[in-house]
Chains A and B, each alone.
Chain A
Amino acid sequence: MRSLFITLGILALTSVLALADEFRDTTHAFLKKHCFECHGEEEQEGGIALHKIDSLDAALRNHLLIENIIEQVHSNEMPPDDQDVLPTTEEKTQVLRALRALSERVQSGDVTQRAGRVTLRRLNRNEYNYTVRDLFGVNFNPSRGFPIDGAGGEGFDNTAAALFSSPTLLEKYLEAAKKVVAQVYQNPRLKKTVIFARPTGPKDTVATAEKVLSFHATLAYRRRVTEDDLNPLLKAFQRGINTGQTYENSLRAPLTALLINPRFLFRSEHDQPGKEEWRLTDFEIATRLAYFLWSSMPDRELFRIADAGKLSDPAVLREQTLRMIASPKSTALARHFAGQWIGFHKMINEAEPDAKRFPEFNFDLRKAMYYEGIEFFTHLLRENRPITELIDSDYTFANATLAKHYGLKEKVTGDTMQKVAIHNKVRGGVLGMGAVLTTTSLPMRTSPVLRGVWILDSLLGAPAPPPPPDAGELPADDTQAGGLTFREQLDIHRKAEQCSGCHSRIDPLGYSLEHFDAIGRWREKDANGKPIDSTAALPGDIEFSSPQELKALIMGGKHKFARNMTRKMLAYATGRGLEYYDEAIVSKIVAKLDTKEYLTQELILQIVQSRPFLNRSRTR
Chain B
Amino acid sequence: MANIQRNQWQLSRRHALRGMGATLSLPFLEAMRPAFGQGAYSSDPIRMACLFMPNGVRPDKWTPKGKGDKFELSPILSPLEAVKEHLLVISGLSNRPAHHGDGHYFKTASWLTCTTIEETEGSNISSNGISIDQIAAEAIGGDTKLPSMELGIEPIKSGVDRNVKLTRLYGSHISWKKPDVPLPCEINPRSAFDRLFRNRSKDAKNQPPITSDKSVIDIVLDDARSLKRSLGNEDTHKLDQYLESVHEVERRIKKEAQAVGSGQNISPDALKQLDALNKRIKKATRGSSDNELGSMPRLNPTEHARLMMDIMVLAFWTDSTRISTFMFGSAVSNKSFSFLDGVSGAHHSISHHKNNPKQLEQYQKINTWHIEQYAYMLQRMKDLPDGSSTLLDNSMVLFGSGIRDGNVHSPKNIPTILAGGAGGQIKTGRHLDTRNDGSLASLYVGMLKRLGVPTKKIGDARRELRGI
The interface of chain A, by Cβ under 8 A from chain B, is: 43-44, 47, 49, 119-120, 122, 133, 139-141, 144-145, 147-155, 157, 159-162, 164-172, 174-175, 177-179, 181-183, 186, 228-229, 232-233, 235-236, 239, 252-254, 256-257, 260-263, 265-266, 268, 271, 328-329, 331-332, 334, 340, 347-350, 352, 354-357, 363, 366-367, 370-371, 374-375, 378, 382, 416-417, 442-444, 453, 457, 463-466, 469-473, 475-477, 480, 576-577, 620
Pick the contact of A348 from B162, B295, B354 — CB < 8 Å?
Answer: B295
Q: Is B150 an interface residue (CB 8 A)?
A: yes
Cα distance, A232 to B219, chains bound together (Å): 6
Please name the residue on chain B nearest to A154 by beta carbon: B160
Using an 8 Å CB-CB cutoff, how does the interface string of B243-262 with A read, 1 for contact, 0 for none?
10110110010000000000
Please name the residue on chain B nearest to A379 by beta carbon: B1
Please name the residue on chain B nearest to A374 by beta carbon: B2
Q: Which of B5-13, B71-79, B312-320, B457-465 forms contacts with chain A? A: B5-13
With a cutoff of 8 Å between Cβ atoms, the chain B residues found around residue A235 in the complex are 219, 222
- The answer on a CB contact under 8 Å between A236 and B232 is no
Pick the contact of B239 from A120, A151, A154 — CB < 8 Å?
Answer: A120
Given contacts A120-B235, A348-B292, 4 further A-B contacts (CB under 8 A): A152-B121, A179-B18, A253-B212, A328-B4
Pick from B1, B188, B195, B212 the residue with the most CB of A within 10 Å: B1
Question: Within the complex, what minimum Cβ distance (angstroms) separates B124 from chain A?
Answer: 7
Question: Within the complex, what minimum Cβ distance (angstroms) separates B17 from chain A?
Answer: 9
Using an 8 Å CB-CB cutoff, how does the interface string of B290-311 with A read, 1 for contact, 0 for none?
1011111000000000000000
With a cutoff of 8 Å between Cβ atoms, the chain B residues found around residue A370 in the complex are 293
With a cutoff of 8 Å between Cβ atoms, the chain B residues found around residue A149 in the complex are 156, 158
- The answer on a CB contact under 8 Å between B216 and A257 is yes
Cα distance, A312 to B145, chains bound together (Å): 51
With a cutoff of 8 Å between Cβ atoms, the chain A residues found around residue B183 in the complex are 166, 168
Given contacts A120-B235, A233-B219, A466-B163, whether A152 and B246 have CB atoms under 8 Å apart is no
Given contacts A178-B210, A577-B123, whether A119 and B234 have CB atoms under 8 Å apart is yes
Question: Within the complex, what minimum Cβ distance (angstroms) separates B428 from chain A?
Answer: 32
Cα distance, A199 to B76, chains bound together (Å): 72
- The answer on a CB contact under 8 Å between B184 and A148 is yes
With a cutoff of 8 Å between Cβ atoms, the chain B residues found around residue A475 in the complex are 345, 356, 358-359
Cα distance, A332 to B358, chains bound together (Å): 45
Number of A-B residue pairs, CB cutoff 8 Å, is 315
Given contacts A328-B1, A349-B296, whether A253 and B215 have CB atoms under 8 Å apart is yes
Q: Which 5 A-B pairs have the closest CB atoms?
A: A152-B122, A476-B345, A150-B169, A472-B354, A147-B184
Q: Is B205 an interface residue (CB 8 A)?
A: no
With a cutoff of 8 Å between Cβ atoms, the chain B residues found around residue A350 in the complex are 155, 157
Please name the residue on chain A nearest to B214 by beta carbon: A253
Q: Please name 6 pairs of A and B residues whose Cβ atoms are closer than 8 Å in the assembled complex, sorted by A.
A: A149-B156, A169-B245, A253-B216, A260-B220, A268-B231, A577-B121
Given contacts A179-B18, A472-B353, whether A151 and B238 have CB atoms under 8 Å apart is no
Cα distance, A329 to B353, chains bound together (Å): 47
Cα distance, A140 to B335, chains bound together (Å): 30
Cα distance, A217 to B210, chains bound together (Å): 21
With a cutoff of 8 Å between Cβ atoms, the chain B residues found around residue A172 in the complex are 191
- The answer on a CB contact under 8 Å between B168 and A442 is no
With a cutoff of 8 Å between Cβ atoms, the chain B residues found around residue A265 in the complex are 242
- The answer on a CB contact under 8 Å between A476 and B344 is yes
Pick the contact of A443 from B20, B120, B227, B336 — CB < 8 Å?
Answer: B336
Given contacts A166-B245, A442-B345, A472-B354, whether A144 and B295 have CB atoms under 8 Å apart is yes
Question: Within the complex, what minimum Cβ distance (angstroms) separates B192 from chain A?
Answer: 10
Pick the contact of B2 from A263, A378, A457 — CB < 8 Å?
Answer: A378
With a cutoff of 8 Å between Cβ atoms, the chain B residues found around residue A175 in the complex are 19-20
Cα distance, A378 to B5, chains bound together (Å): 13
- The answer on a CB contact under 8 Å between A473 and B219 is no
Pick the contact of B293 from A183, A348, A375, A444 — CB < 8 Å?
Answer: A348
Pick from B157, B238, B296 the residue with the most CB of A within 10 Å: B238
Cα distance, A229 to B350, chains bound together (Å): 56
With a cutoff of 8 Å between Cβ atoms, the chain A residues found around residue B222 in the complex are 232, 235-236
- The answer on a CB contact under 8 Å between B9 and A262 is no
- The answer on a CB contact under 8 Å between A170 and B345 is no
- The answer on a CB contact under 8 Å between B359 and A174 is no
With a cutoff of 8 Å between Cβ atoms, the chain B residues found around residue A334 in the complex are 2
With a cutoff of 8 Å between Cβ atoms, the chain B residues found around residue A357 in the complex are 338, 344
Please name the residue on chain B nearest to A180 by beta carbon: B19
Which residues in chain B, 126-185, are within 8 Å of chain A measured between CB atoms? 147, 150, 155-160, 162-169, 172-173, 177, 180-185
With a cutoff of 8 Å between Cβ atoms, the chain B residues found around residue A133 in the complex are 8
Q: Is B435 an interface residue (CB 8 A)?
A: no
Pick the contact of A122 from B8, B11, B219, B238 — CB < 8 Å?
Answer: B238
Cα distance, A466 to B106, chains bound together (Å): 15
Q: Is B3 an interface residue (CB 8 A)?
A: yes
Q: Is B100 an interface residue (CB 8 A)?
A: yes
Cα distance, A329 to B4, chains bound together (Å): 9
- The answer on a CB contact under 8 Å between A331 and B238 is no
Cα distance, A473 to B362, chains bound together (Å): 14
Cα distance, A395 to B234, chains bound together (Å): 47
Please name the residue on chain A nearest to B7 by beta carbon: A139
Question: Within the complex, what minimum Cβ distance (angstroms) separates A445 from chain B?
Answer: 8
Q: Is B69 an interface residue (CB 8 A)?
A: no
Question: Within the complex, what minimum Cβ distance (angstroms) separates A69 from chain B?
Answer: 14
Pick the contact of B336 from A150, A232, A340, A354 — CB < 8 Å?
Answer: A354
- The answer on a CB contact under 8 Å between A141 and B158 is no
Using an 8 Å CB-CB cutoff, how does the interface string of B13-55 with A read, 1 for contact, 0 for none?
0011011101000000000000000000000000000000000
Pick the contact of A151 from B159, B211, B230, B242 — CB < 8 Å?
Answer: B159
- The answer on a CB contact under 8 Å between A228 and B158 is no
- The answer on a CB contact under 8 Å between B216 and A177 is yes
With a cutoff of 8 Å between Cβ atoms, the chain A residues found around residue B155 in the complex are 148, 349-350
- The answer on a CB contact under 8 Å between B220 and A261 is yes
Please name the residue on chain A nearest to B339 by beta carbon: A355
With a cutoff of 8 Å between Cβ atoms, the chain B residues found around residue A152 in the complex are 120-123, 125, 160, 167, 169
